[in-house]
Amino acid sequence: MDMRVRADDCTICGICVAECLFDAIKMGDEGPKFNESCTFCGACIEACPTGAIYQAEERGDAAEPAASTAPHDGKARHQGVWVFAEQHNGKLAGVVMELLGEGRRLADRLGQPLGCVLLGDGVEQLSHELMEYGADQVYLAMDPQLESYRDDLYAQVIEHIVSKYRPTIFLLGGTANGRSLAPRVATRLRTGLTADCTGFDLDEEGNLLQTRPAFGGNLMATIRCPNHRPQMATVRPKVFEAAARQPDRRGEEIVVDLPSLNPWVRIIEIVEESAIGPNLAEADIVVAGGRGLGSPDKLRLVEDLAKALGGAVGASRAVVDAGWIGYPHQVGQTGRTVAPKLYIACGISGAIQHLVGMQSADVIVAINKDPDAPIFSVATYCIIGEVEEVIPALIQEIKNRNRA
Amino acid sequence: MHIVVCVKQVPDPSQARIDRDTGLVIREGVDKITNPFDLYALEEAIRLKESFGGQVTAISMGPPAAKEVLKDAIAMGVDSGILLSDRQFAGADTLATSYTLAQAIRKLGDVALIICGKQAADGDTAQVGPGLAANLDFSHVTQVRKIRQLNSTETVVERLTDTGYEVLGLRLPAVITVVKEINEPRLPGLRGMMRAKKAEIPLWDSQVLDVDPKRVGLNGSPTQVWRTFEPARHQKGEMLVGSPSEQAALLLDRLRSL
C-alpha cells in the first residue's frame, strides 16, 4: 500500500495536513509527502477537495513523480531579462512598452540588463525608442523577409537569438502573434511557458514567479520554471502600466547574424479591418453587457448607452459564446484586456476571467440585480437593479443634462 | 488525406463553481465535456473529409474516462478515436502534452493536417497547437477562421489577427487552430451515435507510444504550480440606491466630477 497524489489535481491547499490524525503528512513543493507514520486510514483522501490523493496497491506501480525534469545545465549562464519588441509597419505594439516597464523592474531586482528583440525590415530606428523606454540592449534582426510578422521565420530567428545570447527571462505580449510565436519558440527550446500572466515576482533564488488566472479565473495560480531557461511568459495588453519614456536614454545596439531561413508560410494578403464603433482596446469609455441582460435584444440597450457616452461596446465571454455579439467585443482573459477611464458593466456577474480583463479601469460602474454578484467587489459605484430599467434611465438623464 | 483532430476533455465551464469557504474549485458533480473550442475543429475536419475524401482521426490525452469525448467525436462523424492514457502522462504541462501528442502523430505516420481548437476552456493557454507543430517540425497557423483551399501540398487559410485578418498559404503537413467563426458544429445524428456506441477506442500508453519517460507527464513539465490562491477582492464601492432614475442621477453626479 502506498499513498499517492495526482499532482495535476493537487492545489497544495494543506487541508490533508490539517486533517491527518497521525501527523504523517508534510507539504512539499509539489504536494503532500507521506512519512512512515501513515496508517493508510484514508482520512486525507476523504478530506481532499480536489480528489488528488489516492491509495495505490503496491509500491512502484506508477512513476515516481520526480521533483522536476533534468536540470538545465548552468542556469547561471543565462543572464538578462528580454522583451519581444513586436512591431507592425514600423510602429511598436503598445504591450511592448508595458513589458519594458515590468521587465525593467525585474532586471533591476536581478541586477541584470534588460534586452529587446526587434525583428523587421528597415525599422532600426525603433531601437532608440526601445532604449528610451528602458532597454539596455536591442538585438536587431533586419531582413526584407522579416518585414511582416510570420510564424515560420520569426520563430526560427528568435530561437536562434535566444539560444545564442541566453536570457534568463523572456516576455512576450499576449497578442495574436505573441500567442502563436511563444509556444513554438518555447517548445523548440524545450523550456516552460506561462500564458497570460497578470503578475510577476522573484523567489529567493531568483526564479520568476508567474501568476495567472486558472480555472476560468476562479483561482489564481503562481507558476515556476525552476530548472529551465529562459523562463518564458506571455502577458495580455493593458495588464501592466507602460514604462515612462526617458528622452535621450541610450543603450547598445547588437546586430545579430541570421540563421538559414526555412519558409513555410506564403503571405498572400494582410487585411486591416476597423472594428465596429470605437476601438475597444483604446476607448476611454467602455459599456459592456453580460448574461444578466436576459436576451440578445437587450444588448441594444448597452449599445445605446455606449453611443450616448461616446464609448465602445464590450461583452462578457458568456454572451459572446452564446452568439449575442462578435468575439472582437469580448473583454476578459480570453478576449481583450481594457483599461478605460470608465467601465460600465451591465448584467455582468464578474467571473475572474472577466475581471482580469477590466479591473484596471479607473472607475468601474456595476449594474446588476444580484447583490451578491462578484462584479460589485471591484466596482467603484454599485447599482443594484434591473438593467432594462437602469440603462434607459441613464440614457434619459444624459439627454436631460446635455440639453440643460 | 489523413486529418487528425486533437480534442480535450474539460470540466463544463458553465458549471465552474468555487467553494466560498476554501476558495477552491469544486470538481465534484461537474460534468466533463469536449472542450467547446474543439467542436469547431471536429466539424471542420469532417467537412474537409466530405469535400475531399480521406479519413479523420480524433486523438485525446487523458484518463481512461476521456474516451467519452472520442466517442462523441465519432458520433459527429470522425472515423476513429485514439486515447493516449498512462499514469506517467499525468501532471503534464503544455510542453509535455504537445510532445506526447506528437509521438502519437509520428506513430500514425501519414498525417497531412492537424486541426485543434484555438485553446482549451480550462487552461486557456492556446499553447499545445503551436507546440505540437514545433515538436513535429510541421508548419502552423493559429486562429483560422476559414479554410479557402486545400490540396496535397498546401492549404490557404484566413487567420484572425488583432487588427483584421491575413490570407496565408501554409505548407503541409501543418497544424492549424480554429476559431468559432469558422463553422457551426453539427449535432450527432442517430447513425453516428450508433456507430460511437459500438466503436472501440484503442488506448495508447507510454510503451505503445515509445515515449522518452523524461519528456512526459510531470517529469517532462518544466513549469510547476508553486501555489494557488483566491483572487484578491477589492474594497466595497459606493452603493447608489433609489429608483432607477434616482440611481441614474446619482451616478451622473459622480461621473461629472471626474
Condensed to tens digits (0 to 9), the pLDDT of residues A148-183 reads 999 999 999 999 999 999 999 999 999 999 999 999
pLDDT of residue B29: 76
Chain A residue numbers with beta carbons less than 8 Å from the beta carbon of B119 are: 334
CA distance B198 to chain A (A): 31
**Chain A hits for B245, Cβ within 8 Å:** 393, 396-397
pLDDT interval class at A277 (50, 70, 90): low
> Are A219 and B218 within 8 A, CB to CB?
no
B243: helix, strand or coil: coil
Band the pLDDT of A60: cuts 50, 70, 90: very low
Whether chain B has a CB inside 8 Å of the CB on A79: the answer is no
Q: Across the interface, do A13 and B24 touch by the CB < 8 Å criterion?
A: yes
What residue in A sits closest to B17 (Cα-Cα)?
A218
Structure confidence by residue, pLDDT tens digits, B152-204: 999 999 999 988 899 999 999 999 999 988 999 999 999 999 999 999 999 99
- Domain of residue B203 covers 2-257
Per-residue pLDDT at B17: 66
B121 to each of A48, A232, A317, how far by Cα in Å?
Answer: 24, 22, 11
Provide the CATH number for the domain around residue B128. Answer: 3.40.50.620
Indicate the residue of A223, A384, A398 with minimum beta-carbon distance to B224.
A223
A299-309 and A387-403 helices, crossing angle to 10°: 20
C-beta atoms of B222 and A225 within 8 A: yes
Q: Is residue B179 a contact partner of residue B118, using CB atoms and an 8 Å limit?
A: yes
Q: Work out the pLDDT band at A66, boundaries 50, 70, 90.
A: very low
What pLDDT does residue A172 have? 98
3-state secondary structure of A383: strand
Q: Residue A280 above 50 pLDDT? A: yes
Q: Note the pLDDT tens digit of each residue in A183-207.
A: 999 999 999 999 999 999 999 999 9
pLDDT tens digits for B56-94?
999 999 999 999 999 999 999 999 999 999 999 998 999
Percent of chain A at pLDDT above 90? 64
Per cent of chain B over pLDDT 90 is 81
Delineate the domains of chain A, giving CATH numbers in brackets: 2-72 (3.30.70.20), 76-255 (3.40.50.620), 280-403 (3.40.50.1220)
The Cα A322–Cα B246 span in angstroms is 33
Tell me what ipTM this predicted complex has.
0.91
Inter-CA distances, A37 with A22, A64, A154, Å: 6, 20, 55
d(CA A338, CA B104): 40
Contact A183 B87 (CB under 8 A): no
Number of domains in chain B: 1
Measured over all CA atoms, what is the biggest interatomic distance in chain A, rounded to whole angstroms? 81
What's the gap in Å between the CA of B163 and the closest CA on chain A? 5
Q: Is the pLDDT of residue B132 over 60?
A: yes
Over chain B, what is the mean pLDDT? 92
Contact A383 B179 (CB under 8 A): no
- In order, the DSSP letters of A126-148 are HHHHHHHTT-SEEEEEE-GGGSS
> Mean of the pLDDT values across residues A328-340?
85
Label the pairing between strands A342-346 and A363-368.
parallel
Average pLDDT (A81-104) is 96
Beta strands in B151-235 (DSSP E): 154-160, 164-171, 174-178, 203-204, 224-229
* A258 min Cα distance to partner chain B (Å): 19
Q: Where are the alpha helices (DSSP H) in B27-185?
A: 36-52, 67-76, 94-108, 128-136
> Would the CB atoms of B219 and A65 count as touching at under 8 Å?
yes
pLDDT at B257 over 80: no
What number of C-beta contacts closer than 8 Å exist between A and B? 293
> What's the rounded mean pLDDT across residues A258-274?
91
- Statement: residue A62 has pLDDT above 50: no
Separation of alpha carbons A243 and A133, rounded Å? 6
In A305-334, the residues whose Cβ lies within 8 Å of chain B are 321, 327, 333-334
pTM beyond 0.90: the answer is no
Beta bridge partners of A28: A31
Segment among A32-41, B121-130, B132-141 with least mean pLDDT? A32-41
